[in-house]
Structure formats: C-alpha cells, structure tokens
Amino acid sequence: MTPRLNSADWRAAARSALPRFVFDYVDGAADDGLCKRRNRDDLDRVTLTPRVLRDVSRPETGIKVFGRRWAQPFGVAPMGLNGLSWPGGDEALARAAAAHGVPFVLSTASNVRLEDLRARAAPGIHWMQLYVMHRGLAEGLVERAARAGYEALVLTVDVPVGGNRELDVRNGFRVPFRPTARFLCDVMRHPRWAWRMARAGRLDFANLRVEDAPGADSASLQAALLTRAMDRSLTWESLAWLRRLWKGPLLLKGVLHPDDARRALDHGADGLIVSNHGGRQSDAAPSAIAALPGVVQAVDGGAPVFMDGGIRRGDDAIRALALGARAVFLGRPLLYGLASAGAAGVDAVLSQFKADLQRGMALLGLENLDDVPGSGLVVGGPDCSPSRPSRISSHQGDIR
C-alpha cells in the first residue's frame, strides 16, 4: 500500500474505496467547480515568511474558544450523510475529534440522532449545525440540541436552495432514487463498501424521523433534506427567533461579505464561520481565504471568526490564522480518511494535521498561535486576496 502522507493521498485512497456516486458526492462541488478550485488557488498564494533563531522546542498549538480549550486550531466541519462513507461515520469523526481535543460539529443531516451521538461519543466538544427547513422542525432540533448538551449552535446560511451538483445528478444520486444498471455496477465494483453498508442496514437522516415532526410525512422530510429544500423566507429578522430559543453561543456559517458580518453581530451572533460550503453552493463566490480579511476587519474583534474551505495541510491553518481566523474547520480530508480506513483513517488524518502544524510553526519561528497575527509573518504577494488586496494590507499591523 502506498503510504498516505497527506490529504491528496487520502483522497486517492477514498476514490478507490468508494463507489463513484459516493466519492462524487463527497468530493464534488457546484457547477464547474471554480469556487472549490479558487479555495485552493488562493490559499496557495498566501506565503508566510519564516522568522529564525526563536525557541520553538515546544510549539503550543492550543487555543481557547468560548471558554473551552481546543488542543489544535481546527475542528471537524458539519457534513451530512457521513454514514455513506463508512457506517457509523458521524460517531467515528466525533470520537477522533474528542481524542485529539478538537470540536466536532454534527450536521442536521447526520445519520445518527443527535442524542445518540452525545451518548456514544461524549465527552467531547460538540456543536450542532442547523438547517432550517421549516420553523417548527428547527425549533424541535434546537430544543433537543440544548437538552442533549451541545455547546454551540451553527446556523448554516449559505443554503437558501441547494447548489447545482451536476455530478450527483449524472450519477442518479437524487430524489426520487431509482437505481440504474450503471449504479448497480458501480456498487458491485466496490464489494467491501457494499458489504459494510449491507451489514449496517438502512441509512436515514436520523434527526428527522416521523416522531420529530408529528403530522409530517417522514419520507418527504427526508427527501426535502437530501434536495436541500430549505425555508427560503429566513432573514436577518429570523435570527431574533433563534436567539430566543438558543441561549449558548450562536454562530453563522457561510458568511463572506463584510456587511453581513457586521449585521450578524448586530443581530446577536456570537461567532462567524467564513465559508463557501467548500465550493458546493455558489460557484461565483470568492474563496474563503480571500473573504476572510474583510470579515475579520468588519467584526473588529467583536466575535471569533472561523474559516473553512480548502484546508489541506497544517500550513493552510497557519495561513488562515495569519489572516485573522481564530481556527479553521476541516471538511473533505476527514471524509477521505473515513472512507479509506474508518475511524483509524480519521485519526490518521487528524494526526497528520497536528504533526504538520507543529512542523509548520517551528519552521516559521512560532512558539504559540497567539503569535501568528502579530509575528511579522508576511502574507502573500501584492494580490494574495484577489478581491481585496488593500484590505489585507490595511487590516493587520505588521502583516503586509
């Protein structure tokens, strides 16, 4: 077996382990995949100039967020249908996150009930991600998440409608689901995956069973989530409704515009996740790393700003921190690990990120992560943020 040294190796392993329709669901993006590519291209353009002859014998990677210590400045992004990559995928991700001292965000579209995840994977830092399909259902989810002990609520705001994922359509991965001959061949070519799935039994959106929405038809609720049929009438005013229901930290995920960032804080958000959903929603959106400095500047220290999208190595996390992120969230690389080797794969990917981060810090002369923004690291060439070059230079003292 070729050694799996980085996210690209894990991606190749996942590609051969998974049927095509599952790999494309995990790896795919919206429209032409431009936004997904932009996430990487713009990260690649952020350079960090090392400082030398500093004591880096014990790099401190820990940070504090909402009063809790994270051992690393990264967490597990919310992802739906993790049980398709590996049975019990949500639990495997949550346990690995806990073992590494980093947070896990459970998706509304998980394949485990939110209460069961807490029972099976606690203790750990668990956040709950919310999709609002309709208000009554969302209220139920929020109340259940509070009762189950989730520490923060992440409202995803970049899915008013589903992104155009043409690979899923081509693969027949849609509602109503009708297996084609091509689909069956695809599954048969991956007998290990098929055997694991057959043993695990039926997969569903476990948070949305019929008992969770009395009077509703469970099958149509499940279909609505798969097609991302959301409540399109959600507005800034709706945040007051959520704020009343949820007393803990409330974060908005999918904010890219500085004005939206300011508005979010005015409407009671406690944190923001700068994200374009890994390029799975608007293909015209800027990369997350390019949008980050504008949001950080708009928030002006009023709340922690997180970022996700395209993070593939430890250095990427440092790049984001250098541009003002408190921490980053990891998406696809963890699913590549999960799909290739189950819980052991997730653990291996997180271990690589940690080792990468420690090496990167030492090479850059960073003793701890609080040093990053003010350390004199030099960010980028003249245009490391294509949309806002001047903001990058204006926002952080000695980052030029």
Ligand X SMILES: Cc1cc2nc3c(=O)[nH]c(=O)nc-3n(C[C@H](O)[C@H](O)[C@H](O)COP(=O)(O)O)c2cc1C
Which contiguous run of DSSP H or E holds residue 107?
none
Q: How far is the CB of 296 from ligand X (least distance, A)?
A: 18
Query: Please, which residue, 19 or 365, has the CB nearer to ligand X?
Result: 19
Query: Please, which residue, 271 or 309, has the CB nearer to ligand X?
Result: 309
Q: How far is the CB of 361 from ligand X (least distance, A)?
A: 21
Q: How far is the CB of 24 from ligand X (least distance, A)?
A: 10
Query: Please, which residue, 186 or 308, has the CB nearer to ligand X?
Result: 308
Q: What's the rounded Cα separation, in Å, for the pair 321 and 377?
A: 11
Query: Please, which residue, 83 or 278, has the CB nearer to ligand X?
Result: 278
Q: How far is the CB of 307 from ligand X (least distance, A)?
A: 9
Q: Which amino acid is at 112?
A: V
SS3 category, 294? helix
Q: What's the rounded Cα separation, in Å, for the pair 321 and 32?
A: 29
What is the residue-wise DSSP string for 53-106? S---SS-B--EEETTEEESSSEEEPP-S-HHHHSTTHHHHHHHHHHHTT--EEE
What is the residue-wise DSSP string for 334-347? HHHHHHHHHHHHHH
277 carries an active-site annotation: yes
Q: Computed from CA positions of residues 127, 132, 137, 142, in that sequence, does the dihedral angle turn out positive or negative?
A: positive
Q: Which of 100, 126, 190, 277 is catalytic?
A: 277
Torsion of CA 92, 304, 397, 390, to 10 degrees: 90
**Contact of 269 with 172, CB cutoff 8 Å:** no
Residues making contact with ligand X (CB under 6 A): 26, 39, 77-80, 107, 109, 129, 156, 253, 275, 277-278, 280, 308-311, 330-332, 335
Query: Please, which residue, 70 or 306, has the CB nearer to ligand X?
Result: 306
Q: How far is the CB of 354 from ligand X (least distance, A)?
A: 17
Give me the active site residues, please.
277
